[in-house]
Amino acid sequence: MSIETVDILPPVDGGQPGNPDIETFITRSYWRQPNIFTGLVGAVVGYAFGHWLGNAIAGSYQQVVGNGENNHALTLGYIFGTVGWLAGLGVFNYPARKLLGYQPQAVEENDQKFNRYFRYSLDHKVVGIQYLVAMLFYFFVAGLFALVIRSELLSPTRHLLAPDTYLEIVGEHGTMMMMMMTSAILGPFGNYLIPQMIGSRRMAFPRLEALSFWLTPAAFTILLSSLIVGGFPTGWTGYAPLSIQAKEGMDSYLVAFGLMAVSMILAGMNIVVTVINYRAPGMTWTRVPLFVWSILVTALLMVLAAPILVVATYMALMDRTVQTALFDVNHGGSSYLWQNLFWFFGHPEVYILALPGFGITLELLPVFARKPAFAYRTVVAGFVGVGTLSFFVWQHHLFDSGINPDMRPVVMFTTELISIPTGIIYLCMIGTLWRGRIRLTVPMLFSFGMLFNFLIGGISGVFLSDVPADGVAHGSFFVMSHFHYTIMGGYIFAFFAGLYFWLPKMIGRRLNDRLGKIHFWTMFIAFNATFLPLFAIGELGMPRRVFEYAQRLQTLNDWVSISAYCIGLSLLIFVYNFIKSTIIDDKVPLEQNPWDSRGLEWTVPYPAPVDNFPATPIVVSGPYEYGTGAGPMIVVPAAAAQTTNDAVAL
Amino acid sequence: MSATPGEPAASRPDLERASTPVANVNRPHVIRIISIWGVLSVVLAPIVYFVWGPHMPPGNMSNVARGQQFDNQVLATVATPVVLFIWTYLGYSITCFRSRGSSDDGPPIKGHRGFQASWLLGTTAIVMALFVFGTYQLITPAGAGTGSGANPIWVPPGYSATAKTNKILQVQVIGQQWRWTFRYPAYSGVETTQLEIPVGVEIQFNVTSLDVIHEFWAQQLAVKADANPGVNNIAFARANRTGSVDVKCAELCGTLHGAMVTTGAVVTQADFTSWITTQVKVHAADIPLLPPYAVTYLPTPDGGYYDPGQDPVPDTSAPTGSPSSGEPTGDTGSPASAAPSPSASS
C-alpha cells in the first residue's frame, strides 16, 4: 500500500511578528521613539487635562467636603491620563495612520536592543519579559503591604496604624494581588511561551497583547495613587453601599480595576484566538500541552467574566459621579447588586487564578517524572469543567446575605461539584508520578509544594461550600486562609515553578539550584506556618480585615506575623538568587534544554529568533511521550517528504 | 474530535490494563500505599471525629452551634482520609519513585481506565453525599443560624410569617457604622446596646442595617447573618445554656469595622425578665423618641424613618411570660425631631 504524500508546506510569508502590513520602518534615535518616557509625559498631560476638565464640569461639587478633591476631576484625570499614557507610548499611531489613510509606520523591531523592553513592542517574547518583570514588581509591592498588615496584627489593639490607614493597606494588598496577579502566569508565560509551544511565530493580535500589558502599569499606578487621596475602605471586594459613601480613593480602585478588566479581556481574546488558530500543522487538540489548555480555559474565563467587572465598576463610578442610585437602597437601588455583579466576575476570577497553576504543575510533572501525562483527556475535560462550573457558583459568597435563601442548596451543589474536575488534577498527579523516575529539581519541588498546598486549600473550600459549616467560617480568617492556600499556595508556588523552569528559556539564565532549594523550603515552611494557624484563628472567631481582635488570639497572631516575615525573607532569597543568577553570574554557560524536556518550546534556541521557528514546524508527536520511544515533537518542513505516517496523514 | 494520527482510536495500547505482568510490578506499591493510608485513616479519622470533634468551633452553646459543629465534625472526618491519601501518596512517590541519578524514562503509562473511572466515581460519590448531607443540615437547625432572608425555609415551631401570629421571641439586630443595637419589640420596642437572650427559648433575630452592609455574628450562638439596608434577614437560634456571647461584625463596613464588637449574654429566663424590665424602665424616656418598630428602617421620600408598607410587629408574643409594657408609644408623626437612627438609647 503506497502512502500518498500531500503538500503540507506551510505558507512562507507572514511577515514580521505583528507588523504584517507595515512596509516602512522608521529609524530614529532612541529618545525620539515612542517609549516609556513619552508615555509618562502623555500620562501627566492627560491627567492634568482630565483633572481640569472634571473641575470645570463639577468643580463646586464635592461628595466629601474638605479633602480638596472631587470625584469627577479625579476620575476624568485617571481616564485621560491613561489615554495620554497610551498615546505617548505610540499605541494609537498605527490605527490613527490607517484611519487617516497614511501608510503605517513602525519602528524596526528586529534589533535585539535592550530598549525595546521599554517600548510598545509587538514581539510576544518582549511582552512576555515585560510582563514577567512587571508582575514580579507588583507582587513584591503587594507583598510588602501584607507585611504591614501583619505588623499591625502583632497586637490585639491598635498600635501601629490608624484604623482607616489599616483598611487602606488591606485594600491595597488585596486589590493589588487579586487584580494584578490575574496575569501573573498568563501574562509572562502565556505570552512568551504559547506561540512557541504551539509552533506559531507570533500571537494572533500583537497590538492587543502589547496593549494588555501597557494597561497594567496604568492600573497599578492608579491603584497605588489611591493612598494619596485617602485610600478606599472596602477591601478588594469593593462592596457597594460602602464604596458609594467612601472617599475619593474609591475612584482609584474603580478605575484601576476597570482598566485591569479591559487588560484581561484583551489578553484573553488574544490568547483564545492564538491557540485556536495559530497551532502548527499536526498540533492537534490532543497534542496541545496541558499548560496551553489551562491558559486557553483561563483566557476564555477572562473574556467572559471580566466584562461583568467593567460593567460593575462603571456603574459604581456613575453612582459616585453623576449620582445614579444603582447601589443606593434609599433611592431604589440594591445593596445586593454589586455583590452579585462582583462575584459573578469574582468567582471565575479565582479560577483565573487557579487554572494556570494547575497547568504549570501538570506540565512539569511529566518532565520531571519522565513519564507521559496521565489521563490527558480527562485532565482537559477537568479544566473545561472547572471553567464552566465557575460561572454557576458565585452566590456561595452570599450564603448568609439573605438573598435567595431557597437557592442555597443549588449553589452548594454546584460549588461542591467543582471538586470533581479539580480532583482530576490529583488523578493526573497520581498517575504521572506512578513508578516514575522523579527528579527533585527546584521546579519539581515547587510543583509538589503547589499540590500539597492546593490540597489544603481545596479541602477547606469544602467547608465553605457547606452552608452550615460556612456559618462558622464565613467572613472570618478561615476564608482568608482558604484563598491564600489556593492562590498563594497554589498559584504563586506554580508561578515560581514555572519561573525556575522556563527562565533558562526566556532569558537564557538558570537560577542557582542551591539557592532555589533554600528558597523553596523556607517559603514552603513559612507559608504553611503562616496560613495553617489562620484557619484556627478564623474558626475561633476572628473576622477578616479587623485591626483589633480578641486578646486570647494574640499568641497565634504573633506566630502568624513572624511566619509572614519569614515568607518575606524567603522571597528576599529569591530576589538575591534572581539578581545573582541573571546579572552577576553572567559567565555560567548556557544550557539550551537544562531539564531535558520534550516540550516544543525547548526546540527554539536561545536567544529566540524573532519568528521563533525557521519555518512553520510540523508536529508529529505529543509533548509528553517520555519513555515511548517517540522521536522529537516536530519535523521541519524540508524533511516533510520522508517523515512519518503522522505528518503524511495530515 | 477526530482520531489523532498516531493514536489509533480502536485500540489504545498505551492504556495500561491490570493484567500480568504489569500487575505484578504495581502490586507491591499498591499494597504498601493502601496499607500505610489505611492504617493512618483508621487511626486518625475516629480521633478527628470523637476526640477533636466535640471541641470544634463553634461549640455547642445553641442548637445551631451544635448543628454546625456536627457539620464540621463530619466534614473533617470525611476530609481526613482524602488528605491522608494524597499526603501518603506524595510521600511514597518522593521516597520510592525517585530517579536516583538514572537518566532513563519511566514506563509510558498514559492512562488506566479502571483507575480513572473509579477515581471519578469516588469523587462524585463523595460530592453527592456531601451535598445531601449539607442540604439536610441546612433545613435542620444547623442552617437556621445563617441569614435566611425575610422568608426563611426552615422555621422552628411557632413561627409565622405574619407578625401578629408569630409566637417566637423577636430580637431585632440593627447594624450601623459602627455599632450594634438590639431592639426587643415584645418589650415596648426597647433598644439596648447589649444582646441578652433567655436560655432555652427560640429566638428570632431580625437583622437589618441603616447604612452599609454589615454582618451580625453572635459567635457562640453560631448566628451569622448579613445586615443589609432595607432588608430583613432572619436567623434563628435557641441557646442550650447560659454564658457570654461575643457579637462582632463579619462584613467589612468601614473604618471601625474591627471595633464593631459588643458583648452579649445568655441568661436564665428569670434573669432575662428582670433585665429587660429594667431596660424598659431605664429607657422609658427614650422609647418614645425611637421610630416605631419596623422590620427595616430607611429614610422614606416623605421624610419618615421606616417603610410604612412594612408590617410592624406588635408586642403580642412574649414567650417568656414577662410583663410587657404595651405598645410602643413612638410618635410616627414627628420623627423630624427624633434622632434619625434608632440607636438613641445609650
The ipTM value here is 0.89
A contacts of B228 (beta carbons < 8 Å): 329, 335-336, 401-402
- Is A453 near chain B, with CB under 8 Å? no
pLDDT below 70 — which residues of chain B? 1-23, 299-346
The CATH number assigned to the domain holding B254 equals 2.60.40.420
- Is B135 near chain A, with CB under 8 Å? yes
Q: What is the DSSP string of A501-543?
A: HHHHHHHS-PPPHHHHHHHHHHHHHHHHHHHHHHHHHHHTT-B
Mutate to test the interface with B, among A368, A380, A479, A546 (most CBs of B within 10 A): A546
Q: Tell me, what's the pLDDT at B290?
A: 85
The CATH class of the A122-584 domain is: mainly alpha
SS (H, E, C) chain B: CCCCCCCCCCCCCCECCCCCCHHHHHHHHHHHHHHHHHHHHHHHHHHHHHHHHHHCCCCCCEHHHHHHHHHHHHHHHHHHHHHHHHHHHHHHHHHHCECCCCCCCCCCCCECHHHHHHHHHHHHHHHHHHHHHHHHHHCCHHHHCECCCCCCCCCCCCCCCCHHHCCCEEEEEEEECCEEEEEECCCCCEEECCEEEECCCEEEEEEEECCCCEEEEECCCCEEEEECECCCEEEEEEECCCEEEEEEECCCCCHHHHHCCEEEEEECHHHHHHHHHHHHHHCCCCHHHCCCCCCCCCCCCCCCCCCCCCCCCCCCCCCCCCCCCCCCCCCCCCHHHCCCCCCCCC
User: Quick check: A339 and A402 in contact, CB under 8 A?
Assistant: no
Do B182 and B289 sit in the same domain of this protein?
yes
B contacts of A369 (beta carbons < 8 Å): 97, 106
Do B131 and B275 sit in the same domain of this protein?
no
- Is A400 near chain B, with CB under 8 Å? yes
Mutate to test the interface with B, among A434, A549, A597 (most CBs of B within 10 A): A434
Q: Tell me, what's the pLDDT at A323?
A: 83
Do B119 and B172 sit in the same domain of this protein?
no
Do B293 and B186 sit in the same domain of this protein?
yes
Q: How far is A163 from chain B (nearest CA, A)?
A: 6
Do B33 and B182 sit in the same domain of this protein?
no
Summarize pLDDT for B86-117 with one digit per residue, the tens. 999 999 999 999 988 888 888 999 999 999 99
pLDDT along chain A (650 residues), means of 10: 49 46 60 84 96 86 61 94 95 88 67 79 92 96 96 92 93 94 94 94 91 96 93 92 89 96 96 94 94 96 96 94 86 90 94 95 95 94 95 93 89 95 93 93 96 95 93 94 95 96 90 95 97 94 92 95 96 95 78 89 87 86 90 70 39
B contacts of A436 (beta carbons < 8 Å): 93, 97, 99, 106
- The total domain count for chain B is 2
Q: Tell me, what's the pLDDT at A482?
A: 96
Q: Tell me, what's the pLDDT at B317?
A: 45
Mutate to test the interface with A, among B209, B226, B246, B249 (most CBs of A within 10 A): B226
Angle B198-B200-B203 from CA coordinates, rounded to 5°: 65
- Is B118 near chain A, with CB under 8 Å? no
Q: How far is A49 from chain B (nearest CA, A)?
A: 32
**In this structure, what are the phi and psi dihedrals at residue B265, rounded to the nearest 5 degrees?**
-150, 145
* E strands present in A139-284: none
Mutate to test the interface with B, among A365, A438, A445, A466 (most CBs of B within 10 A): A466
Summarize pLDDT for A243-267 with one digit per residue, the tens. 988 888 999 999 999 999 999 999 9
Cβ contact, residue pair A405, B26, below 8 Å: no
Q: Tell me, what's the pLDDT at B37?
A: 97
* E strands present in A84-222: 105-107
Q: Tell me, what's the pLDDT at B291?
A: 84
Q: Tell me, what's the pLDDT at B336?
A: 38
- Is A328 near chain B, with CB under 8 Å? no
Please identify which residue in the block is written with the cell numbers 490527558: A376
* Domain residue ranges of chain A, discontinuous segments joined by +: 19-121, 122-584, 607-649
Do B231 and B130 sit in the same domain of this protein?
no
Q: Which domain holds residue B298?
A: 163-329
Q: How far is A150 from chain B (nearest CA, A)?
A: 15
Q: Tell me, what's the pLDDT at A63?
A: 56
Do B138 and B215 sit in the same domain of this protein?
no
Q: Tell me, what's the pLDDT at A46?
A: 97
Cβ contact, residue pair A440, B94, below 8 Å: yes
Q: Tell me, what's the pLDDT at A114?
A: 79
Do B298 and B266 sit in the same domain of this protein?
yes
Do B124 and B223 sit in the same domain of this protein?
no
